[in-house]
Structure 1
């Protein structure tokens, strides 16, 4: 073989090797992206510190990979709800784990959910789920007054007296988002929008401190900067675990508690229907409700569970499950409340 033909043969082998290497990389990339696309995409408004553990347990139990997407404390439930609406023509989300129910109920009206009535759906009481199966609630929080016990007594009389006067040492989260929006929606239903507007403006005129979220309310009260605040039981329990001088009293409207469940729904157009059903059943299981009850957030189970496994602090709130303000038919009231609040805050 002459030198020229040897160089040509070497060159051919070299090119072949390059082509094979590129092909291997290409196959690897295709496999990688296929694996990524095989993940069940979950938009999750529940706090990542609690929800990630649940989702990882589901992965280990079923072998189904989950790819969660979270949002911020201040805007998470509304932000993810709006994202699902923006993506409805080309949905990226398969399952929506919302940290409240009214926003999910609104998505049903927008036609972006798929109905599913599996084993998990059937263990949840009717008042906490959509009758057609488009969403189901589980593991709830209560809206509560949080008090600094060094500053104020935790009694209905003391709180009522405090709320009747100047409010510069009282805190509430901006009601445009989250469970405070749900709270305002309940008041809209119970009082009517005009009375709600008057009450809200009265709070502002008397100097109430508006914060970015319920955790900020908890921090202000726990530190003593505020005497009283409106928040949820999960944030209250964080302060309890930090040994802060706090106590809580459930907020009632017409003698009914504002009980706000998590909710789960399957997004219309998902290409992973069976995996989505599996996750939905898992989230609605006794196992998950017990895990969330035993977690730092201490969520209140809604379906039947072994209450001997539920922490005592959560057991105290069990009676409120049957005394909850009905949320299932408040989509119109939420729309009215949100439209008004946007005119107040997004001018």
Structure 2
């Protein structure tokens, strides 16, 4: 008897169920999903997809190791699609050889070229900008550049999470893509010495530090603002959010660095037709609108508007440099973080 495969929220790869615990591949009305995205973020989309198509979605969630698991499972893998955040994991799936090209002519919506792999091995679904949170009380300026973060006027005033976190590596990789490794290392060293403390915590923790007066500006993703502003479970986060304004770096120049959530089609997908229907749905106007309203993200389809809340934060001009080019510099970015001792905090 086939056992139901319920939505699982797991924090370690070793806790994931074995492939044998998954439903068999015989049912054409099922879709098996591995997701780095947290269950509550994707459930509205899964529900809408099932309502539209009648296809049941079975999801395993983990915050690490899913790409490697698919590679280890090989031809016996039960997974049809993998959902993930960050260009590094999308490009990493391609490097692992676990993807199958997605036929772009079957997509419902419009995904611009800069938000998809040239060979179709992954496509972006939503974007989020890496912006600067700034204290409303202590920061008068309303514009900034990433380059300016190295200015000595910010000495002891910047907070950020680890330099080895995917979000930080993406930004550093974009700086390498624009300025080269030598100039970026000089910049990163200066930013390190402008930090108020050692990098620690997540993006919301940086805003809390601004609220507490520990620093004046911090790097973070846009959608965290929406999560704080609407947090009924932990309402003090509304106070954190109210204490800052969002500055969109380089808006007058090349634009702000953006990163992606995205999807890959598994190489050995047992329900390929259902998988393609799902991927097509995720690019549709309906799904893009759900992303915009529920997750406070930017739809990749330029015809789908952002939510009113996101619009209230300011105008995003995204960097037009293709993300697959930025991904090429992530290894160099990681090595640079260690080389300058970024996570050790200020050294002068």
**Cα deviation per residue 1:19-50 (whole Å; 9 max; x = unaligned)?**
xxxxxxxxx36798787345533232334332
Distance 1:86 1:251 in 2: 41
Map 1:110-149 to 2 at 5 A. Answer: 110-118=96-104, 119-120=106-107, 123-149=110-136
From 170, 179, 202, give the equivalent of 1:213: 202
Distance 1:99 1:172, change over 3 A: same
Q: Offset at 1:172? A: 1.1
Map of 1:246 onto structure 2: 244
Q: Does structure 1 residue 333 correspond to structure 2 residue 335?
A: no
Q: What residue ranges of structure 1 are gaps of 5+ in the alignment?
A: 1-27
Any conservation in 2 of the 1:106–1:331 contact (CA below 8 Å)?
A: no
Match of 2:53 among 45, 59, 62: 62
Offset at 1:230?
0.2
Deviates more, 1:335-344 or 1:168-177: 335-344
After TM superposition, list the pairs within 5 Å mapping 1:1-347 onto structure 2.
Answer: 28=1, 36-38=23-25, 40-72=31-63, 79-85=65-71, 87-88=73-74, 91-118=77-104, 119-120=106-107, 123-156=110-143, 160=148, 163-165=151-153, 167-209=155-197, 210-241=199-230, 242-243=238-239, 244-252=242-250, 255-295=254-294, 297-305=295-303, 307=305, 310-311=307-308, 313-314=310-311, 320-321=317-318, 323-341=319-337
Following superposition, the deviation at residue 290 of structure 1 comes to: 0.7
Q: Distance in 1 between matches of 2:264 and 2:255?
A: 26
Conservation of the 8 A alpha-carbon contact between 1:240 and 1:246? no
Answer with 111-120 or 40-49: which moved more: 40-49
Q: C-alpha separation between the residues in 2 aligned to 1:155 and 1:304?
A: 26
- The 2-side partners of 1:319 and 1:207 are apart by 26
Taking structure 2 as the reference length, what is the TM-score of the superposition? 0.76
Question: In structure 2, how many angstroms separate the alpha carbons of the residues matched to 1:310 and 1:236?
Answer: 13
Q: How many residues align?
A: 312
Deviation track 1:180-237 (CA, whole Å, cap 9, x = no partner) reads 2211110121122233333333333344431243232233234443321000100122
Find the structure with the greater CA-based Rg.
Answer: 1
Q: Which residue number corresponds to residue 15 of structure 1? A: none
Structure 2 portions without partners, runs of 5+? 6-19, 231-237, 344-348
Q: Contact 1:251 / 1:257 at 8 angstroms: preserved in 2?
A: yes
In the alignment, is the contact (CA less than 8 A) between 2:150 and 2:187 conserved in 1?
no
The Cα of 1:121 is off from its aligned counterpart by 6.8
SS of 2:139's equivalent? coil
Helix, strand or coil at the partner of 1:263? strand
Any conservation in 2 of the 1:146–1:248 contact (CA below 8 Å)?
A: yes
Decide which structure has greater helix share.
Answer: 1
